[in-house]
């Protein structure tokens, strides 16, 4: 399981003309699930997303607070392309988990993230 985590002032996901997920200040997390991932990897990523100290404290000390300390939001986006292998000029996505299983695992990831933090602070696409 891979995650790209970015601090944001606000973030949203739009499909066509419809906004399907949006947050204010917090983290935007792109999540890639490989075919070898287990609940153990998921628990690790949940823990890291919520506990990484990416924000300043009220005194201006850098890298002192995590998303939960600041009561910020998290927007997650499923991104199978994080599991790419480049072979010449053609991308190979065989390492990505198949759509049915990855959908189940992604939903479980969101559930665990919400349970460990707050379901109303966690959005997805």
Domain boundaries, the chain: 2-124
Q: What CATH class is the domain 2-124?
A: alpha beta
Would you state the pLDDT for residue 27?
A: 98
To the query of whether residue 85 is one of the catalytic residues in this protein, the response is: no
Q: Which of 101, 95, 69 is nearest to 83 (CA)?
A: 95
Residue of 14, 71, 81, 103 with catalytic role: 81
Residue of 79, 109, 112, 123 with catalytic role: 79
Q: pLDDT tens digits for 1-29?
A: 999 999 999 999 999 999 999 999 999 99
pTM value is 0.93
Q: pLDDT tens digits for 37-96?
A: 999 999 999 999 999 999 999 999 999 999 999 999 999 999 999 999 998 999 999 999
Sheet holding 73-78, edge to edge: 2-8, 26-32, 73-78, 122-124
Residues 6+ apart with CB under 8 A from 121: 26, 71, 72, 73, 74, 114
């Amino acid at each position: 399981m891979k995650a790209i985590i970015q601090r944001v002032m606000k973030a949203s996901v739009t499909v066509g003309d419809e906004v399907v997920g949006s947050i204010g200040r917090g983290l935007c997390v792109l999540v890639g699930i490989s075919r070898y991932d287990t609940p153990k990897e998921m628990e690790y990523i949940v823990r890291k997303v919520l506990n990484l100290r990416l924000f300043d404290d009220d005194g201006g000390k850098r890298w002192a607070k995590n998303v939960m300390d600041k009561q910020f939001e998290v927007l997650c986006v499923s991104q199978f392309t994080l599991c790419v292998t480049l072979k010449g000029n053609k991308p190979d996505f065989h390492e990505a988990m198949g759509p049915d299983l990855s959908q189940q695992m992604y939903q479980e990831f969101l559930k665990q993230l919400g349970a460990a933090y707050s379901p109303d602070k966690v959005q997805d696409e």
